[in-house]
Structure 1
Amino acid sequence: MPIDRNKILRYKILNGCLQDMSRQYRIGDLLDCVNRELERYDLKPVSRRTIQLDLQTLQMEPYNVEFDSVLRESNCYRYADTSFSLELLQLTPKDRDALTRTIEVLRERYSDPDEQNPQWQWMLTTLQSIADDRPLESAEPYVSFENNEAYSGNVNFATLLESIINRHPVEIRYKSFVQETAEDKKIHPYYLKQYNSRWFLFAAVEGKDEIWNFALDRILRVRQWKHSYSPPQVDFSEYFSDMIGVSRNADMPVEQIMLKVSNRRYPYVETKPFSEKQRIVQHDGETHTVAFPMRVNNELVQKLLSFGDDIEVLQPQHLRQRMATIVEEMTKRYSPAQKDCVGR
């Protein structure tokens, strides 16, 4: 059953009225006060019956409100003890200040997410509503994001994010898929990036110069490391600008990628380009040829393969050959001869 989020707002308004020593409130007065506040938030007004039910509910567990018995004889409402206040779920000034600072840090850290990223836009809008004490009108979801609740890397996400924000070095125990045993690494965490429903931590390893990335689902343990923090020497918005995914090695230069895309699939490439620097080289009645600078990594190859025969790699030659080799191996696996062999 959906939670009536507006009920908390109504109780908060009633709480203020019932503490007010300067006037006496009848049911009609309370109704006017509540609906006036609801209108400020563009919420629907409530009925007299709703206010009556609210007042009855407030006299029960867990609120246990007692009204002034003398005023009740004249159909007015006020707390018997005017120092009483409902213990509603609300932010203290200290909590609100902390939440506001968190929002400011997130906005600065993630390069204006209000304009660039729907997930950040939704999250910050919700947090800002809470900080501003604005009600959330509906319990029904408005937005759905890709999420894997069974993903084991979720366990360490909050700890690592807090370490990044607070600039705290950590020690992790890490075991990649190709390692037989885990190893401990002292790191300076910088950045968290999600790709293909998995999270990756980008950090500097103590004593190493380059940036490393660690899959969160391969981090077995995280501990605080009492050591001075080494801030990042790279701009991560630039770091990811010429690559897809998370894989990047020192021997992986930026190259000019040229692709021939079928007109049938080109609208997908046009509206969701491989790169911000993607440009059209030429087009005819059947294809569009596009070019862009990019580092060739496994993620790029996987994305190209996802287009099937709607994309042909023209340049660079080593990438074209790599694609051809993969296609040849796939052809062998799905050839009639291979099928006959499996069936015997």
Structure 2
Amino acid sequence: MFERSNTSFTFRIAGFMAKHFERHKGTRFSVSEILYSFDGTSRKDKAYKSKSTAVRKLLKIFEEDFKANNCPPEKFHVKKGKSALYGYPSEIGFHPMEKWLKGKSKPLKRDRDEFLKDLILSSSGLLPDCMLETRKGILRNPSYYISFEQNECYKNRDMIADLFNYIEEKTVIEFQFTPYDAPARKVILSPYFLKEYNQRWFLFGYEHDKKKYNKSFPLDRISNLIPTEDSEIEYRRKPKDIDYTTYFDDIVGVTHELNNGKMNPEWNIMIKTRDKKVHGLIMSKPLMNKGRQKEIQAWNNNEHYGLIEIDACWNIELMAKLLHYSDGIQVISPNEAVDIMRNKINILCRLYNE
């Protein structure tokens, strides 16, 4: 079952503190250190005062738990000048906050499959929350009225709910990753984000062995997913300059890097439409979002063409989208993009002419 309270700051940081103190027995931390380790909040941040107040209240509950288990509170906190430091002693025979966390958890009246269906449904971004509401509450069976393209046979789709929780709880995970063209390898990851594209799910995070941010892993190539067994590995926080609400703005799909590890080139790509319906489709269902596509010339019924420009980083997903329109479009600039499209089409021609 899943827990509604997991989304509240107090509940999430309480769980983090319990795990953090457990992992670092014998070490003491200040309030500011606890907050920084949790989500990067520093004293300069506006939210520091309210967050630190919440942490101090939780620390009192920790102390009460120590008393209830006949353990002197002095073993939990020590004075250092005007400040106080908190943490578990090296030896502790109980689990502080365990009852409190369980008491704050309210099971949702839905199982894993329902959670997953809701998540996949919302991934389309087409169905506003208000459409799921009725006078009697939440619409229980939206599939009676509306349907989205989904791949219910997609391998490892049942991992999504677990990964969602690992991201929420800032848990380091490990798994076997098996690329199509390389041997399987073990990956240790601090997970940050899940994205669905073209009925396929991708996990983004920090790969500890390669010391690299924004590594992406398709879920269908993952196996043996568990929280890491190495307690020495700490969760690597997502840098503030990584914002997944804008990270995908300049690409189609999920790929920001070429096979050689270099970043995809960003081009102003001019597309000459050769079919009126295709022109209309690209304008009503843009290749790019957030102002990165504009109509240079509306469809000309006399000349039988239109012009559309997109500002995008070139990747394999964009090429696939363009090929999808077949002879309804022609990429006319830049020359690099034209050459890529020409070479791919020539390869396809040779295959069908063999």
TM over 0.5: yes
Deviations 1:5-53 (A, max 9, x none): xxxxxxxxxxxxxxxxxxxxxxxxxxxxxxxxxxxxxxxxxxxxxxxxx
Deviation of the 1:329 alpha carbon: 2.2
One-letter code of the match for 2:163? L
One of 232, 251, 257 as aligned partner of 2:263: 251
Assess, with a 3 A threshold, how the Cα gap between structure 1 residues 281 and 229 changes in structure 2: closer, same or farther.
same
Tell me which residue corresponds to 1:264: 277
Give runs of aligned pairs for residues 188-227 of structure 1, distance below 5 A.
Answer: 188-206=190-208, 207-225=210-228, 226=231, 227=233
Structure 1 consecutive aligned stretches of length 4 or more whose deviation exceeds 6 Å: 137-140
Local SS of the residue matching 2:254: coil
Deviation of the 1:230 alpha carbon: 2.0
Distance 1:307 1:125 in 2: 32
Distance 2:308 2:142 in 1: 45
Deviations 1:160-213 (A, max 9, x none): 111112221111211111113x21111111111111111111111015233111
Deviation of the 1:231 alpha carbon: 2.4
Deviation of the 1:133 alpha carbon: 7.4
What percent identity do the matched residue pairs reach? 25
Of structures 1 and 2, the one scoring higher in RCO (CA 8 A, sep 6+) is: 2
Distance 1:260 1:289 in 2: 5
Tell me which residue corresponds to 1:185: 187
Tell me which residue corresponds to 2:288: 275
Distance 1:194 1:135 in 2: 24
Deviations 1:57-106 (A, max 9, x none): xxxxxxxxxxxxxxxxxxxxxxxxxxxxxxxxxxx99637x78xxxxxxx
Assess, with a 3 A threshold, how the Cα gap between structure 1 residues 165 and 93 changes in structure 2: closer, same or farther.
closer
Distance 2:295 2:338 in 1: 19
Assess, with a 3 A threshold, how the Cα gap between structure 1 residues 137 and 236 changes in structure 2: closer, same or farther.
closer
Distance 1:271 1:333 in 2: 33
Tell me which residue corresponds to 2:38: none
One-letter code of the match for 2:156? G
CA contact under 8 A between 1:256 and 1:291: conserved in structure 2?
Answer: yes
One of 226, 235, 238 as aligned partner of 1:229: 235
Tell me which residue corresponds to 1:152: 155
Local SS of the residue matching 1:118: coil
CA contact under 8 A between 1:153 and 1:199: conserved in structure 2?
Answer: no
What is the alpha-carbon root mean square deviation over aligned residues? 3.0
One-letter code of the match for 2:351? R
5+ residue gaps, structure 1, are 1-91, 100-109, 339-344
Local SS of the residue matching 2:165: helix
Deviation of the 1:155 alpha carbon: 3.0
Deviation of the 1:305 alpha carbon: 0.4
Distance 2:306 2:285 in 1: 15
Tell me which residue corresponds to 1:44: none
One-letter code of the match for 2:283? E
Tell me which residue corresponds to 2:325: 307
Alignment pair present for 1:241 and 2:243: no
Distance 2:294 2:150 in 1: 32
Distance 2:143 2:212 in 1: 48
TM-score normalised by length of structure 1: 0.59
Distance 1:171 1:275 in 2: 34
CA contact under 8 A between 1:192 and 1:202: conserved in structure 2?
Answer: yes
Distance 2:243 2:278 in 1: 33
Deviation of the 1:275 alpha carbon: 1.2
One-letter code of the match for 2:280? P
Deviations 1:271-312 (A, max 9, x none): 111112211222433111111211111111111001011111
Local SS of the residue matching 1:282: strand
Tell me which residue corresponds to 1:117: 125
Local SS of the residue matching 2:174: strand
Give runs of aligned pairs for residues 68-217 of structure 1, distance below 5 A.
Answer: 95=106, 117-119=125-127, 121=128, 134=137, 136=139, 141-180=144-183, 182-206=184-208, 207-217=210-220
Distance 1:256 1:287 in 2: 19
Max Rg structure: 1
Deviations 1:222-254 (A, max 9, x none): 111244322222111211000011111142132
